Amino acid sequence: KHPTLEDENSKMARWFRSEPMEYISMIVNEDAAHDCLADLGKLGVVQFTDLNPELTPFQRRYVSYVKRCDELERKLRFFGAECEKFNLEIDSAGDVEGFIESSTLSQESGAQILETLEVELEQYENQLKELNNYSEKLTIEYNEKVELQEVLEKARRFFMTDAPRLAVSQITQGRDAKRENLLGEVNVGRDMDMRFSSITGVVSTEEKSRFERMIFRATRGNCFVRFAPIKQPITDPETGELIEKSVFIVFYKSVSIESKLKKICDAFMAHRYTLPDMDDSASVDKMMTENAQELVDSRTVLLKNQDTRYRLCQMLAKSTEKWTWVVLREKAIYHSLNMFKADVAGMLRGEGWVLTCSMGDAKDAVNRAHANMDLTNSSLVESVPKPWPLPPTHFTTNKFTYGYQEFVNTYGIPRYREANPALFTAATFPFLFGVMYGDIGHGSFLFAGGLYLLWNEKANDKAKLGELTEGLHGGRYMIAMMGFFAIYAGFVYNDMFALGLNLFKSRYYFVGQDYNEVEEGTIATAIADYGDPETVYPFGLDPIWHVSSNELLFFNSFKMKLSVILGIFQMFAGTCLKGANAIYFGEKYDFFFEFIPMVCFASSLFVYMVVLIIMKWGINWNSRMASATCFDPADADVWGTTIYDGEWVECAADNDDANGYCTPTGISCTGYDDTATLCPLDFGGTGDGCQPPNLITTLINIALAPGDVDEPMYNGQAGIQNVLLAIAFISVPVLLLAKPYFLSKDMEAEAAAHGDEEDGEGGEHGEGFGEIVIHQAIETIEFVLGMVSNTASYLRLWALSLAHSQLATVFWEKAMLTTLNMNFFAAFLGFAVFAGTTFGVLLMMDVLECFLHALRLHWVEFQNKFFKADGIRFAPYSFKQIIDENAAKS
């Protein structure tokens, strides 16, 4: 089925005003409530109101179910954490929509679903916990074996190699009366057989130095400590982390030190191991081989345990997400049911907002659920009689409109059914961005970027993205549009990396340009006469402007005027939307006393300015100026040519002062006449219509010198401007006073109607009126001053466009042009600089800057004309949303 034009129109209209809402009450049978809600959650079109706001969570009806769901969630988080320990990814449970659709196929009731899940998860949790406990025990055992092995090895090496050497060296030193430490002190060379007690054990390497220091302090240096690191890090049985450990051996003499050392070992959680007599190498060897054998055994057991745990987790990883979804769904159902009220036994009553267009679906869902349980006719879904509470705002968006709607929502949710600025933003935002960013080259990059995002749309939709990429993905259509309009504006400005493109051949030429011999100061000549279609460059600006010396003057004048025209258009459109809202909501005061004066004010001064600008562009000033210029009729080079587009009339020398020169309209010149006398138009002022006016002066003089137009453009300009000024002046007090006046009259009438019973209300009435006046004064000031300052604000379109093109020019000239003229290597470097700055400054910073300024123009200049932005967002009870949000959270 192809969408007809009407469908498309209605879609647009649906985006213009938010979806109509219906406040419904639904009465459902308690037994079918779960299934009803399961179906409604699938639809996602209802937003329930909490009918028991006074109840705390635990006083609610279905709190035990919510608690059970919480418990299940805790178990699932536990599974997730366990899987993470094995670096197992939680498998995706597929499509969320698919899950939601399939979920009702099961014939289980709500309680059954929870029960089966509880039993299942409980079993797995116990299994996992048991395995973990077992694993902890095994790890401890295994660690002991490993550590003992290490201790034995290290100690044997120490006793075989280090100890004798140390003893000897200490002896020699001891003879020199340096009696610092234990070995030296006691040995003094005569008693090699003197035995020391020793403690051996394992301590974590991180604590090694503190351990050593503590021993030194506690024994006051009366001991001898040696460490040897264990190469293989040892697993901590509780956390599963790998810890570096070291074997230590401490020699000491006295028993009191021994108890101290033991305490320190306990404090540092160092495991102590008793060594056999190290001199009896046979027993040491035996112990080592025995231990090694045990080590192998316990390792096998440990690995087996690990394998079992791994396989269990693997299995859990497959289903965890699906279970999570089920639990989330059940929890959402019970949360919603908690908002219902049980007025009648066995029945539950809920209230909430539903999209009017989905009302039927919601009804069907409820009825179907009841029919399935043979409880037909026991449910009721109907509209609540008005008055309703304030309805929430909802827009049905698609991939394209979503970004723009979010863009507006960030500022404020539109009021229910008010004109949605997003509809207009979708077109004007990228366009205004383009006006500022206009450059074919840079725009193409941006466009390509946007297209790349669109190309990857499907993949990105599914993938979990970072915050930045997520934002880019959300704005993919916007970016592509921005790029497109930047290219478009670039063609209009004829700017490609700040260079003109000679696509259609310039309509001007310099003398000698074919031989590269154009001299400084040469004036470009048009290839055909004025008015000839040949002189018109087919699209955009003539590239010749990029090489002319008045390039900046011309571009500035053009872009400035363009910005003002676009700005006034946009603001006027905003004002009209205010009128549309007033009509839609039937607020006639708003329409007549706000919208109409606003339009009058805006048109009489600002739209008029646009008219003047366009009019000035449209007039052939060359011809008009020529008509007030004296020519020699005998000079055939000039006389009769196309500089004046009318009939050339030779003058009769009837005047004494005549010097033989004539204006093209046949007025004879004296050599000292001014334009006003020569000009045939007689519009008044010194220019008389033959002099191009300075628009700024003209506009300022509308207000400063009413009735006085120095350089008019059309006949009767002064009179028309006076009328416009008068309209503007009148509309301000109307805007300020009319609405409060009529409102106060209404209030009085209402008070009179209510009559005598409330005499004491006078004070409140006064307050209300004061508020209205203040509100209206603010509105008026904001609009009147706003029109001026906002128009000026739109000049940022020009300013940013200028900044963009000038930056591009600087990069091109300084980095590229200068180095191109040097040598290959310099050009190589130059290009790197050029590309780098172009990317960093123009493609990154300038895009952001233009984006922000376009954003501001919409949020402030456009939206303040009509947008109330005080709506409440529709938050439907929807499984999809809940599951998506949960996914985003984790």
Partner 1 sequence: MTTKVQMVHGGMTDFNIYHGYPEALVRGMRCSFLSDADYHHLTQCESLDDIKLNLAESDYSAAVADSDNLTPSGFQGVAVQKMVTEFTYLRTQCVEPLSTFLDFITYEYMIENIMLLLKGALSGRNINELLAQCHPLGMFKASTMRSIPTFEPNARGFADLYQTVLVDTPVGPYFAMFLQESSEKGGGAVRNVIEEVEIEIIKSSLIKYWIEDFYQFCMKLGGDTAEIMGELLKVRADTNAINITLNSFGTSLNEPAMRISDRKRLYPSVGHLYPAGTAMLADVSNEEELGRVLELFPAYSGIWNIHSTGNDKSIDDAFYERDVQQLELAFEGQMHFGVFYAYVKLKEQEIRNLVWITECVLQQQKDEIEKFVPVFSFHAPWRGGKKK
- Looking at the Cβ atoms of 207 and 645, the one nearer to partner 1 is 207
- Looking at the Cβ atoms of 267 and 583, the one nearer to partner 1 is 267
Do residues 808 and 408 touch, judged by C-beta distance below 8 A? no
Interface residue with partner 1 among 214, 380, 732, 855 (CB under 8 A) is 214
Which helix H or strand E contains 683, and what residues bound it? none
- Looking at the Cβ atoms of 129 and 157, the one nearer to partner 1 is 129
To partner 1, the closest distance from the beta carbon of 234 in angstroms equals: 17
Place of tokens 């004036």: 523
To partner 1, the closest distance from the beta carbon of 709 in angstroms equals: 56
DSSP states of 470-518 as a string? HHHHHTHHHHHHHHHHHHHHHHHHT-BTTB---SS--SEE-TTGGGT-P
Q: Is 129 in the site for partner 1 (CB under 8 A)?
A: no
Q: Is 890 in the site for partner 1 (CB under 8 A)?
A: no
Please return the burial class of 65, using the count of CB atoms within 10 Å of its CB with bins 0-12, 13-18 and 19+. Answer: buried
DSSP 346: T
To partner 1, the closest distance from the beta carbon of 880 in angstroms equals: 23
- Looking at the Cβ atoms of 162 and 266, the one nearer to partner 1 is 266
Interface residue with partner 1 among 2, 3, 4, 56 (CB under 8 A) is 56
Structure tokens at 885: 């949000």
- Looking at the Cβ atoms of 264 and 713, the one nearer to partner 1 is 264
Place of tokens 């009702």: 104
DSSP states of 221-242 as a string? T-SEEEEEE-SS-EE-TTT--E
Interface residue with partner 1 among 2, 5, 58, 191 (CB under 8 A) is 58
Q: Is 126 in the site for partner 1 (CB under 8 A)?
A: no
Interface residue with partner 1 among 8, 9, 13, 57 (CB under 8 A) is 57
Instruction: Enumerate the β-bridge partners of residue 353.
Output: 23, 47
Instruction: Show contacts with partner 1 in window 149-208 (CB under 8 A).
Output: 207
To partner 1, the closest distance from the beta carbon of 549 in angstroms equals: 49
Structure tokens at 544: 């010749």
Q: Is 775 in the site for partner 1 (CB under 8 A)?
A: no
Q: Is 528 in the site for partner 1 (CB under 8 A)?
A: no
To partner 1, the closest distance from the beta carbon of 232 in angstroms equals: 23
- Looking at the Cβ atoms of 270 and 582, the one nearer to partner 1 is 270
Residue type, 200: T
Do residues 870 and 415 touch, judged by C-beta distance below 8 A? yes
Q: Is 885 in the site for partner 1 (CB under 8 A)?
A: no
Question: Could you give phi then psi for residue 770, rounded to 5 degrees?
Answer: -55, -40
- Looking at the Cβ atoms of 85 and 263, the one nearer to partner 1 is 263
Do residues 688 and 710 touch, judged by C-beta distance below 8 A? no
Contacts of 460 (CB under 8 A, 6+ apart): 453, 469, 473
Burial 499-528 (b: 16+ CB within 10 A, else e): bbbeeeebbbebeeeeeeeeeeeeebeeee
Q: Is 59 in the site for partner 1 (CB under 8 A)?
A: yes
Sign of CA dihedral 356, 359, 360, 362: positive
Rounded (10°) angle between helices 96-103 and 30-43: 150
To partner 1, the closest distance from the beta carbon of 751 in angstroms equals: 36
Interface residue with partner 1 among 8, 115, 162, 266 (CB under 8 A) is 266
Distances (CA, A) of 598 to 54, 669, 774: 47, 50, 18
Q: Is 218 in the site for partner 1 (CB under 8 A)?
A: yes
Q: Is 263 in the site for partner 1 (CB under 8 A)?
A: yes
To partner 1, the closest distance from the beta carbon of 264 in angstroms equals: 6
To partner 1, the closest distance from the beta carbon of 214 in angstroms equals: 6
Q: Is 278 in the site for partner 1 (CB under 8 A)?
A: no
Interface mask (CB under 8 A) for partner 1, residues 66-95, using x and -?
A: xx--x--xx--xx-----------------
- Looking at the Cβ atoms of 269 and 614, the one nearer to partner 1 is 269
Spatial separation of the C-alpha atoms in residues 843 and 836, rounded to whole Å: 10
Interface residue with partner 1 among 148, 234, 264, 381 (CB under 8 A) is 264
Q: What is the separation, in whole angstroms, between the first and last Cα of the chain?
A: 41
Q: Which stretch binds partner 1 (CB under 8 A): 149-157, 263-271, 442-450, 836-844?
A: 263-271
Q: Is 210 in the site for partner 1 (CB under 8 A)?
A: yes
- Looking at the Cβ atoms of 248 and 593, the one nearer to partner 1 is 248
Q: Which stretch binds partner 1 (CB under 8 A): 54-62, 113-121, 588-596, 624-632?
A: 54-62
- Looking at the Cβ atoms of 130 and 532, the one nearer to partner 1 is 130
Spatial separation of the C-alpha atoms in residues 307 and 295, rounded to whole Å: 18
Contacts of 57 (CB under 8 A, 6+ apart): 63, 66, 338
In the complex, the residues that contact partner 1 under the rule CB under 8 A are: 56-59, 63, 66-67, 70, 73-74, 77-78, 207, 210-211, 214, 217-218, 263-264, 266-269
